[in-house]
Amino acid sequence: MSDQILKLTPETVWKNFYSLTQIPRPSGKEGAVINFAKKFGENLGLHTVVDSVGNVIIRKPATPGMEKRKGIVLQGHLDMVPQKNSDKIHDFEKDPIDPVIVNDWVKANGTTLGADNGIGVAAILSVLESKTLVHGQVEALLTIDEETGMTGAFGLQPGMFTGEILLNLDSEDEGELYIGCAGGVNANMKLAYHIDAVSGDVKAYKLSITGLKGGHSGLDINMGRGNSNKLMFRFLKKATTEFKLRLATIEGGSLRNAIPREAFAVVVVPAGFSAQFTKAVAEYQEIYRKELSVTEPDLSFVAVECSKPASVIDMKAQINLINSVYACPNGMVRLSDSIPGLVETSNNLAIVKSHPEYIEITCLLRSSVDSAKDDLSMAVSSVFELAGAEVELSGGYPGWKPNPDSEILTLMKDIYNKKYNKIPDVKAIHAGLECGLLGGVYPNWDMISFGPTIRHPHSPDEKVLISSVQKFWDFLVEVLKNAPVA
């Protein structure tokens, strides 16, 4: 039962997290959770406002004796990534999440869990409602639409906060402190096409690639997982040449910041090629399974005969589409020179979807080096411009430059070491934390990002380690108690 998590500790954090799971809050549809957070603050008698873009800001005064400590801004985002397994019936705009306990993990039943960033937000709410914690002034900043456009961070206005320290609670490895992140930009392509009528003795098939793990397009991009779009178009390239395949529709991926797990195409082939075609599908399934035997053990690639479509994409557009998607850079492009093991630059070929008269292609490019991000943007643009597509780069956001001499970093390392007899790892992350944008509006903020252990965010396999939530909470409490004097 989903409410079993109410028995976990720390009870206050899990109680608030459970409340969040029961509120539909996909990115761009956060109205209900904004109202929830606003009422939460107001019911506590705290100064609460919703700004012009929908961010919720709640201010809690310092506890007695802590008035001279530096104010701390606790920040998290209200939205979640809506991803589900293809066989799961779930409406993310109406249905609550069903969390389940599996050993030392909490996950969801066939959908994303929303621990990214629900656990961080739940911890912030727990600080606000506590009558026993010791802390200086606390300001909560609960942003909207972090996952699809960082609309809340982009829209934040100066002059709304007095705190000098920002604690972003949106990282996903307990025991690690993050002091930098990658910037990103969306590449949006439209490839126009005409339609041709389906004629002659042909058979139609629905091609399906399923069973891939997917995952976060930043954190998991270096794990060698399959990209359903790349796998589908690799086969379409072969089948167009060898079996005179014609493409009617394509739908691969659904979110720019999630590695695509599934892709579907409706195609037709001359009846004389049908046996060879279906044999080739089976052969490619085995090829893909062998190549990705460790990372994608559940990969499936099948062709099922279906009703003939009325039309197909014209041949010139089909060839241009296949060649451009096949040639588009994807995955990890380069590792960082300065931080061992950190991905510097990457691209996620996230969405390929046919609409009447055009095909939509969406990529999310990331880099901690702005010039490398620009270079990759030009490379991706060039591929699709050669195919005759319209290319638009949008939603660019800056990275967060690390400050290894940060006062709050030194303090938090010392607190963690004293509490757990271990110095936490200090890292940068190949993901788009809001800190880069927030620091641009409030350049005086000394910023750190940390959180509990979350695995497979942005996919239905998302899960949070129960024991890490307790450590995360205890650490946060100690940091608040020991905030530096202003």
Banded pLDDT at 2 (limits 50, 70, 90):
low
Place of tokens 């060698």: 224
- 458 DSSP 8-state letter: T
Banded pLDDT at 370 (limits 50, 70, 90):
confident
Angle, alpha carbons 259-262-263 (nearest 5°)? 115
178 phi, psi to nearest 5 deg: -105, 130
- Nearest to residue 46, comparing CAs of 160, 137, 156, 170? 137
CA contacts within 13 A on the Cβ side of 424: 29
Residue 48's DSSP bridge partners are: 58
Quick check: 198 pLDDT over 90?
A: yes
Catalytic residues: 79, 146
- Nearest to residue 77, comparing CAs of 10, 149, 133? 149
Averaged pLDDT for residues 55-66: 98
Quick check: 338 pLDDT over 80?
A: no
- The structure's pTM equals 0.77
Q: 112 and 99 in contact (C-beta within 8 Å)?
A: no
Q: 123 and 13 in contact (C-beta within 8 Å)?
A: yes
User: DSSP labels for 290-316?
Assistant: HHTTTT-TT-EEEEEEEPPPSEEE-HH
Tokens of 237: 């390239």
Banded pLDDT at 1 (limits 50, 70, 90):
very low
Cα distance between residue 162 and residue 141, in whole Å: 12
Tokens of 446: 């000394």
**What mean pLDDT is reported for the chain?**
96
Q: 369 and 384 in contact (C-beta within 8 Å)?
A: no
Quick check: 418 pLDDT over 80?
A: yes
323 preceded by a cis bond (ω within 30 of 0): no
Banded pLDDT at 60 (limits 50, 70, 90):
very high
In which order are the strands placed within the sheet that holds 105-108?
Answer: 99-102, 105-108, 463-465, 454-455
Reduced to 3 states, what is the DSSP secondary structure of residue 165?
strand
Q: Give just the sign of the alpha carbon dihedral 307, 311, 314, 320.
A: negative
What digits encode the pLDDT tens for the residues 96-151? Answer: 999 999 999 999 999 999 999 999 999 999 999 999 999 999 999 999 999 988 99
Q: What is the pLDDT of residue 89?
A: 96
| Helix axis angle, 466-481 to 115-129, nearest 10° | 40
Cα distance between residue 317 and residue 191, in whole Å: 8
What digits encode the pLDDT tens for the residues 277-321? Answer: 999 999 999 999 999 999 999 999 999 999 999 999 999 999 999
Question: Which of 270-275's residues contact partners 24+ apart within 8 Å by CB, and which partners?
Answer: 270/200, 270/201, 270/202, 270/203, 270/243, 270/244, 271/201, 271/202, 271/203, 272/201, 273/243, 273/244, 274/203
What digits encode the pLDDT tens for the residues 388-402? Answer: 999 999 988 888 888
Quick check: 3 pLDDT over 80?
A: no
Q: 258 and 356 in contact (C-beta within 8 Å)?
A: no
Banded pLDDT at 331 (limits 50, 70, 90):
very high
Q: Which residues contact 485 (CB under 8 A, 6 or more apart)?
A: 68, 69, 70
Quick check: 470 pLDDT over 90?
A: yes
CA 332 to chain centre: 16
What are the chain's domains? 2-182+399-481 (3.40.630.10), 185-397 (3.30.70.360)
Tokens of 244: 């005179």
Q: Which residues contact 120 (CB under 8 A, 6 or more apart)?
A: 76, 77, 168, 169, 170, 451
Cα distance between residue 372 and residue 123, in whole Å: 36
Averaged pLDDT for residues 374-381: 97
Averaged pLDDT for residues 175-182: 94
Averaged pLDDT for residues 455-479: 96
